[in-house]
Homo-oligomer: A and B are copies of this chain.
Amino acid sequence: MNVASFISTFDAQRGSAGFDDYKDVMEIIEHVRSDGDRALHDYTAQFDNQTLDTFKVDKAALKDSYDAISSEEREALETIKRRIEHYQKSIKYTDMDHGEFRYVYHPLEKIGVYVPGGTALYPSSVLMTVVPALVAGVKEIHVVTPTFEENNITFAALYICGIENVYKVGGAQAIAALAYGTQTVPKVDKIVGPGNYYVALAKRLLFGEVGIDMIAGPSEILIYVDQDAHIDAIVYDLFAQAEHDANARTFLISEDESIIKKIEERLEQMLANQPRSSIIRASIKDNHYAVVDSQEALISMINHIAPEHVSIQHRDADRIIRNIKYAGAVFNGYYSPEAIGDYAAGPSHVLPTDKTGRFSHGLNVNDFLTSHAVISLEKTTYEDIVEPAKTIARREQLDAHYQSLNIRTE
């Protein structure tokens, strides 16, 4: 496939913003807004088949989950937590002070974190959303999750993070609860974390009412290889992306057609032995393999689609990476497979997908800060700039603005 048809295929596959399902989600939001906990009980019975006395998880249940995991898992989660803390601290913004102007940052007061539930539980996603908020200094973290099992690893990971406010509720109703507050779930300032389609619609509808991190779509990776690539490692990297779900997208790119052929052949052989081979097969059928005739073509492709993950396994990696403008995250070299980023490298694995990396970035500590300017002008500075300001105020016919400026020159 050449680059032009690659890009047009990609664009044609982009999700539609069709509004068909909004009505249902609006109804859910309005119901939660007016009826609070009662609405949450209704929806949790209807969608999750659960009848709960209370949504709030008992502190003891979090501790029980922690006690139930192996000491190896406990240490793994604690080590990973420290890695994430270390990285997030290193990129945290600090106040700027230029005398008459200061620009200052403060942690958000209350946030909500959506943690997906269901049969597959991902403790790594707990760490990748909660730890950046902790590093930011957020005081109140409220976690919603449709996780109803006792002794589960999601609760164990939350216990390790010191989280005490956890609510067993999911879907659009959980987002609405965090946006407006109910008797049990408090109103928060910002909601983060990936969820299903209805969670995404609710987040979009409530953008502005509360802060929203991003709208998550299916995961993607673009891997660029030269002819020296470690074939089995690349196959596992492709599988690691594809095993997430049937809609995950994998792009394998090279200037060298023969290495792509070799990887494809080996992939077919290795696929049979994969535990999640049916998901991988469903996902991989939409694989994009492309031969590019120059690194410029590769770079223009990357900057066009802004892949969630870009993995450069190529002798010219440094030169290529310097020219990448838009991506969720870039992984450079043999010892930086995307899987290490999913767990333990440091940056959050909550990353923009489906071209949204062209305008947004992966979740990080700074998304849990807010900021404002403090303006303290000296008389002389004021006198330097007041005349142009008065001229424009007059032209805009905002007379009180003009007077407010003018009285200070008298």
Contact = CB atoms under 8 A, between A and B. Distances in A.
Interface of A: 17, 19, 22, 26, 29-30, 33, 69, 72-73, 75-77, 79-80, 83, 87, 90-91, 96, 98, 101, 103, 106, 108-109, 120-124, 153, 189-190, 200, 204-212, 214-215, 230, 232-233, 236-237, 239-240, 242-244, 274-276, 280, 303, 321, 324-347, 356-362, 370-379, 381-382, 385-389, 391-393, 395-405, 407-408
Contacts of A344: 385-386, 388-389
Contact of A395 (B30, B123, B330, B386): B123
Contact of A375 (B17, B232, B332, B391): B332
A29 to B, nearest CB: 8
Shortest beta-carbon contacts, A-B, top 5: A211-B359, A208-B215, A239-B400, A76-B388, A343-B389
A356 B211 CA distance: 8
Contacts of A347: 101, 373, 375
B209 A207 contact: no
A391 B73 contact: yes
B395 A233 contact: no
A315 B235 CA distance: 67
Nearest to A359: B211
A316 B324 CA distance: 49
B214 A375 contact: no
A233 B339 contact: no
Report how many copies the assembly holds.
Answer: 2
A405 B358 contact: no
A211 B392 contact: no
A388 to B, nearest CB: 4
B375 A371 contact: no
A236 B103 contact: no
Contacts of A207: 204, 207, 212, 215
Given A240-B403, A360-B370, 20 more contacts: A17-B206, A22-B22, A72-B391, A73-B395, A76-B388, A87-B101, A204-B208, A205-B205, A274-B399, A275-B399, A324-B372, A330-B374, A332-B375, A336-B376, A336-B377, A338-B404, A339-B389, A340-B377, A341-B375, A346-B373
